[in-house]
């Protein structure tokens, strides 16, 4: 199993209140089908916690806990 470190922007794009882009959908599909593990850098979590958009911040953090 390969571990894939994703950027904060990918996390927000994936977990936000909007549709996920086709390119990101395809990337995530390939990563899941090829038995890769997506990991989140602790600094990315800190960036999300500092998001001034409280609604988006709370939604993204709640989804990352699951």
Percent of the chain's residues with pLDDT above 90: 52
29 token code pair: 């599909």
pTM, two decimal places: 0.69
Q: How far apart are alpha carbons 54 and 25 in whole angstroms?
A: 25
37 token code pair: 């593990």
Per-domain residue ranges for the chain? Answer: 3-65
Cβ atoms of residues 12 and 20 within 8 Å: no
**58 forms bridges with which residues in the sheet?**
none
pLDDT digits 0-9 by tens, 32-64:
899 898 899 999 999 999 999 999 899 989 988
Q: How far apart are alpha carbons 55 and 62 in whole angstroms?
A: 11
């Amino acid at each position: 199993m390969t571990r894939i470190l994703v950027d904060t922007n990918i996390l927000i794009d994936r977990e936000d209140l909007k549709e996920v882009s086709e390119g990101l959908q395809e990337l995530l599909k390939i990563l899941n089908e090829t038995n890769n593990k997506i990991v989140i850098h602790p600094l990315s979590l800190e960036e999300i916690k500092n998001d001034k958009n409280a609604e988006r911040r709370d939604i993204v953090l709640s989804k990352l806990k699951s």
